[in-house]
């Protein structure tokens, strides 16, 4: 071999070694505080409502509570709220004087933390800190390979929780599917709760189909936590509670469930889910007014039971396609409603949550991509504390897709990078790197120490999405995005061996309850 050939081989080897080293650096996990994105980044850069608009919505909501009020509170709720200062009319509706609402807002919990079973996954809901997660009650699972829908099962819910646990950019797991393989509603509630907690140590959200199921579910929760005292110290499950039936009526049984959960120490999501043009007014601003009024009634209700109890202001107005009346969760109007609701929870200084990321598309295709991206970006930039239904949801909440959950991790990584924004510091605008490259160096920044130093902390890279050139894509066998998502899903499920429930506790749970997975 000639000296030239030896030299060329050495340069090639160094290039290959450098490339391998850079790839190893990119794949190595970063410390949490060095990651380019993470849970709880502050949003609030986007504000679709003017300050005058926020005040007008607030005033209209207070007027609605005083003049219209809410019907159908359970007797216990009537007693609780009238003793606090609500007024029961001859028509049976409870009306809320402005002073009562303001007094309850003054004592409502702020800056709350939703706990994970592992403290690494605690969620700080102060200010405009943003967190993304799942939610919903899909009755189908999307089979992307067969391009068909099938009924969801307890095992599907468990697998979705396991996948979520492995995804950095999905910060909590709220029940996303109904366990359609369980006929008994009590057993369904038990298995829903256990599937979620078994699959992840992140914060879990669940609901109860009947108030009589709450006590048994708390027996299960206390077993998982290691006792009631340990549970109350770090409640790692919240109750997603549709305490109202829009327009302006209490959901009687859900209210009874809410009362029981509050007394048992469970954080509440006060969920108002009207549908603009159907169960909520068609004007977007008035749809927000109704949702705010309903949730303010919830604030009164909760704090009349337990002042300062942790509760999330869950204004979730959805959108109708007014041509058909069908829900349109992937619309631009939905994105605007969610962002506007984020402004309202910040106006009150309360932790807030709403829905985004819903796809009307039936499969994880281009339509789903734009529907999920637009609303998630706007929710994040608006500073919504808890972005529910952010990943996996298709067919306007009727279908949940595991591959879409996996792809959503990449999508949310890009969303969170937008939320983080651009930091302007003395170092980031220093001209030293420009001077060295332009006047002394090679005329590019590819190997510059500043570039290498920032490539992991300033930039985020997709786990599944393809950024290769057409030539590189062809050399790699023309990988398909969905096939890549299927492969990552299968890899996560096959590698997810560490139990999130102690085996002894799991055995005790299975002896006490009928577990379907």
Per-residue pLDDT tens digits for 436-492 = 999 998 999 998 998 888 888 899 999 999 999 999 999 999 999 999 999 999 999
Give the mean model confidence (pLDDT) for residues 88-95.
97
Q: Which two tokens stand for residue 14?
A: 């160094």
Cite the beta strand spans of 32-143 per DSSP E: 41-42, 87-88, 94-95, 113-114, 123-124, 129-132, 140-143
Which of the four pLDDT bands, split at 50, 70 and 90, describes residue 11? very low
pLDDT at 118: 96
pLDDT at 46: 97
The CATH superfamily label for domain 105-420 reads Trimethylamine methyltransferase-like (3.20.20.480)
- How would you classify the pairing of strands 326-327 and 318-321? antiparallel
> String of b and e for 151-186 (b: at least 16 CB within 10 Å)?
ebbbebbbbbbbbbbbbbbbbbbbbbbbbbebeeeb
Give the mean model confidence (pLDDT) for residues 375-392.
98
Task: Give me the percent of the chain exceeding a pLDDT of 70.
Answer: 93
Please list, in sequence order, all residues whose beta carbon lies within 8 angstroms of the beta carbon of residue 303, skipping any fewer than 6 positions away.
84, 104, 107, 108, 309
pLDDT at 4: 46
- DSSP state, 22? H
Please list, in sequence order, all residues whose beta carbon lies within 8 angstroms of the beta carbon of residue 53, skipping any fewer than 6 positions away.
285
DSSP string, 369-402: HHHHHHHHHHHHHHT-SEEET-SSEEGGGTEE-H
- pTM for this structure? 0.93
Where is 229: in which H helix or E strand? Answer: helix 228-233
Distance from chain centroid for Cα 105: 24
Q: Which two tokens stand for residue 70?
A: 């809410």
**410/387 Cα distance (integer angstroms):** 16
pLDDT at 13: 45
pLDDT at 21: 60
Dihedral sign from CA coordinates of 178, 179, 181, 186: negative
Do 387 and 426 contact (CB within 8 A), yes or no? no
Task: Give me the percent of the chain exceeding a pLDDT of 90.
Answer: 88
Give the mean model confidence (pLDDT) for residues 89-108.
98
- How would you classify the pairing of strands 129-132 and 41-42? antiparallel
Q: Which two tokens stand for residue 425?
A: 């510091």
Q: Which two tokens stand for residue 325?
A: 């009346």
pLDDT at 25: 56
Give the mean model confidence (pLDDT) for residues 251-267.
98
Q: Which two tokens stand for residue 256?
A: 């009874």
Instruction: Indicate whether 218 pLDDT > 50.
Output: yes
Q: Which residue has the tokens 């006060």?
A: 270
Q: Is 32 exposed, middle or buried (0-12, 13-18, 19+ CB in 10 A)?
A: exposed
pLDDT at 208: 97
**335/332 Cα distance (integer angstroms):** 5
Do 493 and 163 contact (CB within 8 A), yes or no? yes
**245/23 Cα distance (integer angstroms):** 53
Q: In sequence order, what are the beta bridge partners of 353?
A: 386
Q: Where are the alpha helices (DSSP H) in 306-351?
A: 332-348
Where is 295: in which H helix or E strand? Answer: helix 284-305
Instruction: Indicate whether 498 pLDDT > 90.
Output: no
Mean pLDDT of the chain: 94
Distance from chain centroid for Cα 184: 28
Please list, in sequence order, all residues whose beta carbon lies within 8 angstroms of the beta carbon of residue 267, skipping any fewer than 6 positions away.
112, 114, 235, 238, 239, 309, 310, 311, 312
């Amino acid at each position: 071999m000639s000296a030239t050939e030896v030299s060329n081989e050495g340069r090639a080897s160094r290039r290959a070694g450098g490339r391998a080293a850079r790839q190893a650096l990119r794949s190595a996990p970063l410390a949490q505080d060095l990651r380019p994105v993470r849970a709880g980044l502050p949003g609030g850069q986007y504000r679709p409502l003017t300050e005058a608009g926020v005040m007008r919505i607030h005033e209209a909501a207070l007027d609605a509570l005083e003049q219209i009020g809410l019907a159908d509170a359970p007797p216990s709720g009537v007693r609780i709220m009238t003793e606090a200062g609500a007024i029961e009319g001859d028509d049976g509706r409870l009306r809320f004087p402005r002073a009562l609402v303001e007094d309850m807002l003054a004592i409502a919990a702020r800056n709350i933390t939703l706990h994970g079973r592992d403290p690494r996954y605690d969620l700080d809901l102060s200010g405009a800190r943003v967190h993304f997660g799942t939610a919903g009650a899909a009755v189908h699972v999307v089979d992307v390979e067969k391009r068909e829908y099938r009924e969801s099962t307890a095992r599907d819910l468990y697998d979705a929780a396991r996948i979520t646990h492995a995804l950095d950019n999905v910060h909590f797991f709220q029940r996303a599917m109904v366990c359609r393989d369980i006929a008994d509603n009590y057993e369904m509630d038990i298995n829903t709760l256990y599937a979620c907690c078994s699959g992840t140590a992140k914060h879990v959200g669940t609901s109860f189909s009947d108030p009589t199921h709450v006590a048994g579910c708390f027996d299960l929760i206390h077993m998982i936590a290691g006792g009631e005292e340990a549970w109350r110290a770090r409640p790692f499950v919240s109750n997603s509670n549709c305490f109202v039936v829009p327009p302006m009526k209490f959901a009687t049984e859900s209210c009874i469930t809410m009362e029981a959960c509050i007394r048992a120490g469970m954080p509440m999501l006060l969920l108002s889910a009207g549908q603009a043009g159907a169960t909520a007014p068609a004007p977007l601003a008035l749809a927000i007014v109704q949702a705010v009024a309903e949730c303010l009634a919830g604030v009164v209700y909760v704090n009349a039971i337990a002042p300062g109890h942790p509760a999330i202001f869950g204004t979730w107005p959805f959108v109708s396609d007014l041509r058909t009346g069908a829900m349109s969760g992937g619309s631009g109007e939905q994105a605007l409603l969610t962002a506007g609701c984020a402004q309202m929870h910040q106006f009150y200084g309360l932790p807030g949550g709403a829905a985004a990321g819903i796809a009307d598309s039936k499969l994880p295709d281009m339509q789903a991509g734009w529907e999920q991206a637009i609303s998630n970006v706007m929710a994040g930039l608006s500073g919504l504390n808890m972005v529910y239904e952010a990943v996996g949801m298709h067919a306007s909440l009727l279908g949940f897709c595991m591959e879409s959950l996996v792809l959503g991790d990449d999508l949310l990584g890009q969303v969170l990078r937008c939320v983080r924004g651009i930091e302007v510091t003395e170092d980031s605008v220093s001209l030293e790197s420009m001077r060295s490259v332009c006047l002394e160096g090679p005329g590019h920044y590819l190997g510059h120490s500043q570039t290498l130093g920032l490539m992991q902390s300033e930039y985020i890279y997709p786990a599944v999405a393809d950024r290769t050139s057409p030539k590189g894509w062809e050399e790699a066998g023309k990988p398909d995005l969905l096939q890549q998502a299927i492969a990552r899903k299968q890899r996560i499920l096959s590698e997810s061996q560490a139990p999130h429930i102690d085996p002894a506790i799991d055995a005790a749970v299975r002896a006490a309850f009928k577990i379907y997975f």
